[in-house]
Structure 1
Amino acid sequence: MDFIIYDLEFNQDFSPAKAHRERDKGCGSKSGSSSVSGSGNGRGNEIRPCFEIIQIGAVKLDERLNRTAELNRYVKPSIYPEVSPFITELTGITTEHLSTEAYFPDIYQEFIGFSSSETPVLCVWGMADLKEFYRNIEFHGLDKKQMPRNYMNLQLYVSQHFGLPKGRSLKLSTAAELLKIPLIHPFHNAFYDAYYTAEILRKIYDSSIQPAIYDPDDKPTHQRAPKKIIDFAKLIDQFEKMYDRSLTEQERQMILLAYKMGKTRQFMK
């Protein structure tokens, strides 16, 4: 078994118009651009992912947790060609830095070759990098079946290691510090973050930590509770019983209006 510990850095369109559009329609929006050069089969999904991968860093450990290989590749963006100033400030990655790099389809194939082994296990810090990786794969029309299916969410196991309550998690930098891993590299760099995650795995790993299977096509269904509406006839009937008389049409409308105004909660103190 080989452990493929990887991390990603992303670019995103932070323009006000884009943000407004995403609030109204959800994460992605239609893309009218044509397929980029590379080894992909063309755009398989016109919905643009919110986060475009611009760096993939990975470390491979064997079953004895010895480091056997490393991968550090930057990716030329094709969805959001300009690197956001916020991303540059966070990661140090600039548009000029990526201008000579390969596009995602080529880097994806390189990652698949890097992770190839008899029983590879993807190791991530939180599920976001796994989910966003698949979104980028699908957008470019690439074969997602090439991705290893076994994975470990090391953030979850670190939370258990420190006895944190369910739902609580640690940042990568905090976990590395608590586990007394020397902080010799900056964070928010995919390769260095993969390095720290690999060191964390070496600190906490035991036989109780077992990989799970990730199915990118398993979309959880959230059943919306049926909308409840007031039985206005019964409400009026109750008022008439309370006052022992029939209500006028004006009184009925006033009760209905008061109910609707109360639902807005604008008169709560």
Structure 2
Amino acid sequence: MNYIVLDLEWNQCPSGKENSVAKLNFEIIEIGAYKLDSRLNVVDKFNELVKPQVYTEIHSIIGGIVKYTIDELNEKGDYFEFVIKRFLDWCGEDYIFCTWGCQDLTELQKNIRFYNLKYKFDYPLCYLDLQKLFSIKYEDGKLRRSLEFAVEYLKISKTIPFHHAIDDVYYTTEILRRMRLGELEKYYSIDLYRKPASKKEEIHIVYDTYYKYISRAFSSKEKAMLDREVKASRCYLCERENATKNMTKIANWFSDGSKTYYFLGECEKHGFIKGKIRMKKTDDDRVYAVKTLKATDMDGASQVLEKQLAIREKRRKKRLGIGE
């Protein structure tokens, strides 16, 4: 299997998001990629500019970062439909994408869909988010650092500028090599541009330290929370061991009033399990749930209970008109 280290540069509406073209907030203007073999040797490179067709002026902030002009893109670039065909043909068949962050693959697919092109990726689309893996290996797994921070942290020489796709790919590849993936590959990510279309397509992943579930779409978050699988709170560690232990619900799913729900339970064998459900919107204004369950300690359990008490107190004061 090959690794395709990918980076994109894109433009956006120069007069502000409110004037963006529907379903294309970001128009790709450059695709850069390295193809690595199983030993992380670079076997090929891909780099092409894309001729703008939607936003024919460069946004002032984008222009200050990527340094491309419209004239340069028009002169050296080709139309997206031709560039993407060459790129995907170049990728081949047996590969996994590697990106710095979670946005590139989503924007790539949005551009493909905007032009009504027929390319489809595997479902679910698994990839390696090297920004996340950097955090897991060197920090707390939650922080998300910039590419330049990681380059400096790993003492990689900054011999070329940042913010051209092919140059950022060079740095991303150097970071990948120094991290020595190995066990980190089991923390692969799932791109969420294409959501589960049915219950059968719903995604369940058990990582070493947590469980993740991605639901199909519902008409509202209230409807989603009525679904048995969405609100299920089984001990994922027991399921991984094919064991059956009772889990006591300490704080059943409760909301902070926005799009997030929390849970706390206690497994007879594995102790406290905390849960979080984040409701996310689809392009057609439906919602789907992303649920995580994770083993925690007494401090983690206390934080969930404190959050529940704080929410209850806030609602009580609101009912009584206190603090208004």
Same-fold call, TM cutoff 0.5: yes
What pairs with 1:13-162 in structure 2 (closer than 5 Å)? 13-15=13-15, 18-19=16-17, 21=18, 29=21, 47-100=22-75, 101-117=77-93, 119-145=94-120, 149-162=125-138
Instruction: Describe the SS at the equivalent of 1:209.
Output: helix
Residues 106, 192 of structure 2: 8 Å contact kept = no
Instruction: Describe the SS at the equivalent of 1:132.
Output: helix
Residues in 2 aligned to 1:212 and 1:168: alpha-carbon distance in whole angstroms: 16
Residues 112, 146 of structure 1: 8 Å contact kept = no
Instruction: Give the one of 189, 197, 203 matched to 2:172.
Output: 197
Residues 9, 29 of structure 2: 8 Å contact kept = yes
Distance verdict in 2 for CA 1:134–1:3, change over 3 Å? same
Instruction: Give the one of 217, 240, 250 matched to 2:194.
Output: 217
Residues 3, 61 of structure 1: 8 Å contact kept = yes
Residues 120, 150 of structure 1: 8 Å contact kept = no
Structure 2, unmatched stretches of 5+, are: 197-214, 224-254, 256-317
Matching residue of 2:155: 180
Give 1:212 deviation, angstroms: 4.8
Q: Which AA in structure 2 matches 1:78?
A: Q
Give 1:142 deviation, angstroms: 1.2
Residues in 2 aligned to 1:140 and 1:147: alpha-carbon distance in whole angstroms: 19
Residues 31, 46 of structure 2: 8 Å contact kept = yes
Residues 101, 131 of structure 2: 8 Å contact kept = yes
Q: Which AA in structure 1 matches 2:4?
A: I
Give 1:182 deviation, angstroms: 1.1
Higher RCO (CA 8 Å, separation ≥ 6 residues):
1
Corresponding pairs, count: 207
Normalized per residue, the structure richer in strand is 2
Distance verdict in 2 for CA 1:105–1:99, change over 3 Å? same
Instruction: Describe the SS at the equivalent of 2:171.
Output: helix
Residues in 1 aligned to 2:12 and 2:193: alpha-carbon distance in whole angstroms: 22
Give 1:157 deviation, angstroms: 0.5
Q: Per-residue CA shift, 1:28-84, capped at 9, x if unaligned?
A: 54xxxxxxxxxxxxxxxxx33111100111111100110111111110111111112
Residues in 2 aligned to 1:49 and 1:7: alpha-carbon distance in whole angstroms: 18
Stretch deviating more after TM superposition (217-226 or 69-78): 217-226
Q: Per-residue CA shift, 1:72-105, capped at 9, x if unaligned?
A: 1110111111112221111111101111221111
Instruction: State which structure, 1 or 2, has the greater radius of gyration over its C-alpha atoms.
Output: 1
Residues in 2 aligned to 1:167 and 1:103: alpha-carbon distance in whole angstroms: 38
TM-score normalised over the length of structure 2: 0.58
Residues 36, 42 of structure 2: 8 Å contact kept = yes
Q: Cα RMSD (Å) of the superposition?
A: 2.7
Matching residue of 2:267: none
Q: Which AA in structure 1 matches 2:12?
A: Q
Matching residue of 2:274: none
Stretch deviating more after TM superposition (74-83 or 207-216): 207-216
Residues 8, 129 of structure 1: 8 Å contact kept = yes
Instruction: Describe the SS at the equivalent of 1:131.
Output: helix
Q: Which AA in structure 2 matches 1:75?
A: V
Residues in 2 aligned to 1:128 and 1:90: alpha-carbon distance in whole angstroms: 17
Stretch deviating more after TM superposition (82-91 or 195-204): 82-91
Residues in 2 aligned to 1:212 and 1:156: alpha-carbon distance in whole angstroms: 9
Give 1:147 deviation, angstroms: 6.8
Give 1:12 deviation, angstroms: 0.5
Residues 14, 58 of structure 2: 8 Å contact kept = no
Give 1:146 deviation, angstroms: 5.0
